[in-house]
Amino acid sequence: MDFGIPELQALQARQADLLRDAMPPDAVAEMVAQTEQPGYEDASFVRNHIGWIDQSSSYWTRKLFRTQTEALRNEPELLQRQDILEMLDKHSQNMLNPDPVIASHVRRVLSTWYAGVHAGDR
């Protein structure tokens, strides 16, 4: 089944019809007016879906990292080296803890700046 913009617009019109029974007429009119602006496209479903994928991906990436760390901790060679196990634990904690807000902003600025510098060198 093809599902594109015309089908979404039809669903949106149906949603407005259903809301007229439950909401004040001015609220429905305002909602419809917003969606009829040029260039407006209600992509909340897409945003929610992408957010879910991002959250799920983050969960499984962290789960995989934890599992790999546990597997490394159970290696016979590493069990004999307490210093390496301590470094492994410290690294695992650092990787699983979120960056401070300022650090993430600095990383974003630097990565953007480096991308611009390298692109300009060519």
Predicted confidence (pLDDT) per residue in 46-55, tens digit: 777 777 888 8
Reported confidence tier of residue 116, pLDDT bands at 50, 70, 90:
low
CB 42 within 8 A of CB 12: yes
Q: Spell out the domain ranges in the chain.
A: 5-35, 64-121
Predicted confidence (pLDDT) per residue in 56-102, tens digit: 888 888 899 999 999 999 999 999 999 999 999 999 998 888 878 88
Measured between its terminal Cα atoms, the distance across the chain in Å is: 46
User: Is the pLDDT assigned to residue 1 strictly greater than 50?
Assistant: no
